[in-house]
Amino acid sequence: MKGSRRTAAPRLAFVTLGCPKNTVDSEHMLGALVQDGFQTVGDPAEADVAVINTCAFLQSAVRESKDAIANLAELKSSGRLKALIVTGCLAQRSGASLLDEFPGVDAVLGTGQWKDVVGAARHVLSGSEERVAHTEYPGGAVEDGMPRALSTPRHIAYLKISEGCDHRCTFCIIPHLRGDQKSRSVESLVEEARQLAKLGVRELNLIGQDTTGYGTDLPGQPGLADLLEALDTVEGLSWIRVQYTYPRLWSDRLIETWARAKRVVPYVDMPLQHIAQDMLRRMGRAMTEKQTRELVSRIKQGIPRVAFRTNFIVGFPGETDEHYGVLERYIEEEPFDNLVVFGYEREPETPSYDMTPRVPIHQRRSRRARLLAKQQQLSRERLSRRIGEVTTVMVDGPAAGRGGQWAARTAGSAFEVDGGVVVEGDNLVPGQLVTVRITGAAAYDLFARVERSADPALNILG
């Protein structure tokens, strides 16, 4: 009987919360489990083992992760699940306390212990009642040659170029959860990019906690510009997109490389967090207001038709109406294509937790709503000016609930986080680059139809 149980493939359900960096970690854990003989299922109620890869960047993310754990624990208490394993940032942050809070959890594996997931799953399935928590060191999946099962659409993949962060922003817990920066070599990244292209990946998204800091920890200190030049030679890729760039380590060479590369799209994702000088100083951003403004202007001037995405935090301790006013005026003076606004959340274990004076929560919410409303107005005006334009989009798949229409994006929009383009057309294929004419616009999305007679090379990075 023991042998027959071992040969029957255990059913595995995987739940991933948080950012694309977590997605890559999940893909590596999933790849290792599948390689070990586990069979994946979509519904945790049909699984023997459930693994949840959690987020804990903000308290709101902590609450979401705990709610998801509680839901899975209910399945286990009803006898549907045999094993429940918690991994990722909340596991790293809370450790063994999760075993006390959730009696249904069998194992807690921190960000640096992701490779232990196979052993933990087999340990529980063997009948052992020993519950374990391992959070000895922070980290994430950056080892070369590890198994990986892609969870994104076939034409899109993330390439994690580094793990951890050397910056110490006063609001951020990431270094505590992920450790200091650890970069992969240029050679290993190019090789993985080639393998992904052979699998049908057409858009490669480079990610890391700080992608502009790439290589500072490697021998010879190759920079992001060196990596982009190398990846730009990978045949089969249509678009290379870089996310999570940190302002301080941008250089003129990087801007020039970005503009010159044929596959690197003119899209810059740079969380600025604020623009008022006092706020930048209190946030520990290592850049002055003047330096930040000049850098944004240099990038916009140096990369033709660049689309710019950024994040801001409002209601940070000490933020006055004047500070907020500087920020609101800035997004009018220097418009951004894609803008995310967070209301400040106090995070234990960060320097800002004890900072005063604190901005009342109603004021934080009000400032966030005002800034988002201003961005919505600016975005609607900007997109309406594109009606009639001919550009190129990448098809992602059929548009949900829209017969004969397709979800697509220009090069100025990242998958799942920015606005898209709804395209009318027939027989399109995910990953295909299609020339379209813009026919309409909303606050964040565009509408278009395929231009069959147009030159497919026209405005390919629009």
- Per residue of the chain (462 residues), give pLDDT as tens: 344 344 579 999 999 999 999 999 999 999 999 999 999 999 999 999 999 999 999 999 999 999 999 999 999 999 889 999 999 999 999 999 999 999 999 999 999 999 999 999 999 999 888 999 999 999 998 888 899 999 999 999 999 999 999 999 999 999 999 999 999 999 999 999 999 999 999 999 999 999 999 999 999 999 999 999 999 999 999 999 999 999 989 999 999 999 999 999 999 999 999 999 999 999 999 999 999 999 999 999 999 999 999 999 999 999 999 999 999 999 999 999 999 999 999 999 999 999 999 999 999 999 999 999 999 999 999 999 999 999 999 999 999 877 789 999 999 999 999 999 999 998 899 999 999 999 999 999 999 999 976 554 444 344
CB 287 within 8 A of CB 310: no
Point out the annotated binding site for [4Fe-4S] cluster: 19, 55, 89, 165, 169, 172
The pLDDT of residue 100 is 96
Task: Report the distance separating Cα 64 and Cα 57, nearest Å.
Answer: 11
Burial of 457 by CB count in 10 Å (0-12 exposed, 13-18 middle, 19+ buried)?
exposed
CB 286 within 8 A of CB 278: no
Q: What sign for the dihedral angle of Cα 450, 461, 227, 312?
A: negative
| CATH number given to 156-384 | 3.80.30.20
Q: What sign for the dihedral angle of Cα 18, 24, 28, 31?
A: positive
Closest C-alpha among 306, 297, 295 to residue 267: 306
Task: Report the distance separating Cα 198 and Cα 186, nearest Å.
Answer: 19
CATH of 2-134, one of 3.65.10.10, 3.40.50.12160, 3.10.50.40, 3.40.50.970: 3.40.50.12160
Element (H, E) at 12: strand 11-16
The pLDDT of residue 453 is 60
Point out the annotated binding site: 19, 55, 89, 165, 169, 172
Helix (H/G/I), strand (E/B), else coil: 252: helix
* Residue range 302-347, pLDDT digits in tens: 999 999 999 999 999 999 999 999 999 999 999 999 999 999 999 9
Task: Report the distance separating Cα 42 and Cα 345, nearest Å.
Answer: 33
| CATH number given to 390-450 | 2.40.50.140
Q: Where are the domains of the chain?
A: 2-134, 156-384, 390-450
The pLDDT of residue 2 is 41
Q: CA angle at residue 385 from 324 to 339, to 5 degrees? A: 30
